[in-house]
């Protein structure tokens, strides 16, 4: 293999694909454990109050029922009365299942029934009768918006004088934008198997985006240091729902400890609506520009909902202070506590809804000024992050605009709404900018090569469907000059080297950099081993004098080569572990991924139905490790953005404080018939600052800006602005 044939940057198939299509990839609830018992959760029927009585007599009388667990008989828990948190915790007191008789939200777990089969457990749980003392509740953000308090978030301070600049500007627009509650709804429901082992050790299979986060959480809560191992080799989608340990995990541990037996707890689809979600938001935007469309003033104020026991925050308004050049900016972010569960990060948290409002307001400003929306963005282009006052380490957003517009045919867009039609369909075109952080987190990896020349690389990261297995295999194969078939990457085991939560588009930049560094250490050990013999042609050679190609170590000057397995046959297996953290040079720069999204819609003038007919998404995300898996990530994000714009919302009956469409029949998401051809362009972008790989990550950026582009296209088609998502036909009619 020569360097031109390196797997890095190639659109390779997923290495875990064969296991998945053959049904051999095991997910959290699918492991065969001897003597396994099954748990079913009893959920609260009220939104606020107290539990007066739990009548489980009928349940306990059923043959095969082993336990009915509630706050009345749960085992002692080490830190339930003391503060504790997990790696993705919000500020406040985290929810503690079966803590006491208080009911904090509708759907709260009140009891766990453990039986010999799943069917029996669910039937038995339905027989548990709970008596309540209900109290008045509030679940409507709109009703309490005036009582919201400042969010405990790092909102950039104001700069300039917004009021003076806004009032003096030639053009002004202002509007209020609303986004609904959304739930993650991955294909795989949340589940945990707690395998009780002799001596009280627990081997746990859990659906999670961070096995070590779950391990630390359980050790802290139950006081079981060094007795817990968490496994999660495959995850059937998560989108942020697996960042925090969900309540089925501690419930399964409680039951296993109480019974000294192995227990599985799997949530139903309805119960998937009883924990974190994307919060509802109300956002007010004010933009002002001079006669040529240059921004003079920007204000972005947001109100989000949270629970009464935690203040959930996300980066919702910061994007309006960094995406465009403006000297007068005022940002604000408040929270309104409700009788609901705490929200949770959900794909591109904060940016998905914050950039939606900003980019719709920018489209309105373009119409007010009378210039093309793309031209407005180019006139306000900025090479620095205004919130930080730092120049970007790389920013190829101009290329995204140019290449995306050319591929889409943006020059053919009619400036006047309602001026392009075909039969009874109005046709419109819209665009928006996308932005997301380019983060790197501390991470470790271990690389080991054996006498067969096979490389094993390990890290306790996750693969939630993003292609982590494949990307890490490519990075390791490139670093060691090995064919992909000779490299194995293992993840999802809390006993492996430390890794951060898989989220925020930071896995490739974090874990990938650790993998690359571990392989560099292994190359040095191979060279050291080859130099042990005085007669070795590698004696005295520096690392720069050798290269690794096709499973061999080659001396560049003489072309002398030796197979790696020959070195290991003499030295024995060699391994190297590396830990990486963000470099100091990052502190001097702003880092971000960017995109430009172009959308065409067709709106039925009589029925108000909207069909998205074309999408082009141009992405600048540094080095792309695998264009195929990365392209799939962008396509998935675009699909979700279309759903966000047109269909997706969790509906709540505020009289009951309960979600009503808590199933996949009534929670509307796009299907194949809703989705057109989606074209993804990866713009070439080089960045030596973000990390050693130069990769920024693509998991989040794909969804950002899509909903705004759809909304802007609908305006171009119909002349009607709908600022509340989703844009359903009743709002258009």
Per-residue HEC secondary structure of 617-648 comes to EEEECECCCCHHHHHHHHHHHHHHHHHHHHCC
Cβ neighbours around 399 below 10 Å, total: 17
Question: What kind and span of H or E run contains 60?
Answer: helix 57-60
Distance CA(247)–CA(41), nearest Å, equals 10
DSSP per-residue codes, 140-158: -TGGGGGG-EE-SS-PPPP
Q: Which residue among 364, 396, 600, 700 is the active-site one?
A: 700
Phi, psi for residue 634 in degrees, rounded to 5: -65, -45
CA–CA distance from 193 to each of 229, 259, 266 (Å)? 12, 14, 8
Nearest residue to 387 via CA among 468, 314, 324, 304: 324
Active site (annotated) includes residue 700 = yes
- Of the candidates 304, 299, 305, the one whose C-alpha atom is nearest the C-alpha of residue 284 is 299
- DSSP letter for each residue of 161-203: -HHHHHHH-SEEEEEEEEE--B----SSPPEEEEEE-TTS-EE
Cα distances from 578 to residues 440, 479, 491, 499, in angstroms, run 15, 14, 15, 11
Token pair listed for 321: 């202070």
476 vs 454: CA distance, rounded Å: 11
Q: Which two tokens stand for residue 704?
A: 């950002």
CA distance 631 to 702: 9
Closest to 344 measured CA to CA, from 438, 239, 483 = 239
- DSSP state, residue 299: E
Assess contact for 38 and 126: CB atoms under 8 A: no
Torsional sign, CA 532, 538, 543, 546: negative
Q: Which residues are catalytic?
A: 700
């Amino acid at each position: 293999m020569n360097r031109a044939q390196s797997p890095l940057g190639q659109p390779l198939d997923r290495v875990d694909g064969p296991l998945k299509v053959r049904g051999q990839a095991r997910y959290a609830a699918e492991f065969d454990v001897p003597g396994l018992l099954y748990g079913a959760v009893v959920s609260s029927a009220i939104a606020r109050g107290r539990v007066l009585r739990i009548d489980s007599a009928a349940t306990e009388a059923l043959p095969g029922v082993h336990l009915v667990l509630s706050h009345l008989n749960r085992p002692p828990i080490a830190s339930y009365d003391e503060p504790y948190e997990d790696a993705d915790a919000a500020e406040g007191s985290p929810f503690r299942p079966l803590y006491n008789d208080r009911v904090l939200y509708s759907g709260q777990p009140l009891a766990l029934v453990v039986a010999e089969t799943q069917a029996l457990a669910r039937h038995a749980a339905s027989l548990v009768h709970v008596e309540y003392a209900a109290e008045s509740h509030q679940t409507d953000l709109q009703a309490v918006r005036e009582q919201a308090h400042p969010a405990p978030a790092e909102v950039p301070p104001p700069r300039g004088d917004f009021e003076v600049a806004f009032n003096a500007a030639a053009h002004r627009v202002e509007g209020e934008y609303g986004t609904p509650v959304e739930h993650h709804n991955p294909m795989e429901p949340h589940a945990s198997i707690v395998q009780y082992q002799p001596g009280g050790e627990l081997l746990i299979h859990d659906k999670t985006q961070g096995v070590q986060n779950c391990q630390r959480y359980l050790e802290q809560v139950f006081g079981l240091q060094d007795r817990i191992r968490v496994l999660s080799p495959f995850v059937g989608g998560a989108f942020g729902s697996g960042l925090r340990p969900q309540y089925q995990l501690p419930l399964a541990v409680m039951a296993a400890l109480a019974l000294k037996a192995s227990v599985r707890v799997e949530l139903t689809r309805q119960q998937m609506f009883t924990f974190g979600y994307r919060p509802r938001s109300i956002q007010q935007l004010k933009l002002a520009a001079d006669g040529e469309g240059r921004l003079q003033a920007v204000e972005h104020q947001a109100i989000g909902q949270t629970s009464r026991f935690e203040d959930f925050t996300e980066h919702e308004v910061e994007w309006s202070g960094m995406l465009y050049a403006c000297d007068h900016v005022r940002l604000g972010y408040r929270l309104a506590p409700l009788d609901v569960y705490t929200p949770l990060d959900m794909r591109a948290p904060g940016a998905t809804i914050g950039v939606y409002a900003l980019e719709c307001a920018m489209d309105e400003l373009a119409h007010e000024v009378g210039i093309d929306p793309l031209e407005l963005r180019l006139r306000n282009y900025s090479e620095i992050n205004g919130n930080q006052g730092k120049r970007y380490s790389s920013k190829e957003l101009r290329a995204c605009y140019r290449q995306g517009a050319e591929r889409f045919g943006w020059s053919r867009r009619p400036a006047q709404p309602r001026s392009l039609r075909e039969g009874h369909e109005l046709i419109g075109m819209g665009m928006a900018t996308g932005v997301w952080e380019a983060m790197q987190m501390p991470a470790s990896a271990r690389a080991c090569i054996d006498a067969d020349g096979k490389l094993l690389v390990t890290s306790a990261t996750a693969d939630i469907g993003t292609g982590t297995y494949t990307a890490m295999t490519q990075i390791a194969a490139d670093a060691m000059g090995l064919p992909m078939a000779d490299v194995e990457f293992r993840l999802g085991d809390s006993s492996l080297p430390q890794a951060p939560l898989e989220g925020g588009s930071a896995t490739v930049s974090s874990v990938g950099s650790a993998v690359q560094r571990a392989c560099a250490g292994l190359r040095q050990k191979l060279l050291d081993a080859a130099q042990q013999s005085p007669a070795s042609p590698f004696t005295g050679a520096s690392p720069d004098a050798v290269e690794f190609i096709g499973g061999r170590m080659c001396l560049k000057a003489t072309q002398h080569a030796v197979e790696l397995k020959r070195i290991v046959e003499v030295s024995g297996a060699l391994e190297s572990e590396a830990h990486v953290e963000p470099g100091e040079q990052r502190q001097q720069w702003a880092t971000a991924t960017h995109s430009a999204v172009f959308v065409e819609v067709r709106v039925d003038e009589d029925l108000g139905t909207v069909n998205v007919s074309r999408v082009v998404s141009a992405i600048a995300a540094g080095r792309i490790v695998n264009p195929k898996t990365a392209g799939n990530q962008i396509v998935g994000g675009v699909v979700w953005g279309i759903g966000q714009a047109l269909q997706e919302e969790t509906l709540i009956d505020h009289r009951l404080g309960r979600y009503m469409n808590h199933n996949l029949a009534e929670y509307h998401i796009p299907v194949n018939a809703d989705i057109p051809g989606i074209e993804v362009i990866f713009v070439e972008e080089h960045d030596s600052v973000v990390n050693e790989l130069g990769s920024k990550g693509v998991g989040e950026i794909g969804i950002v800006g899509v909903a705004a582009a759809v909304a802007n296209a609908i305006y171009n088609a119909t002349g009607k602005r709908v600022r509340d998502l989703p844009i359903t036909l009743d709002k258009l009619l």
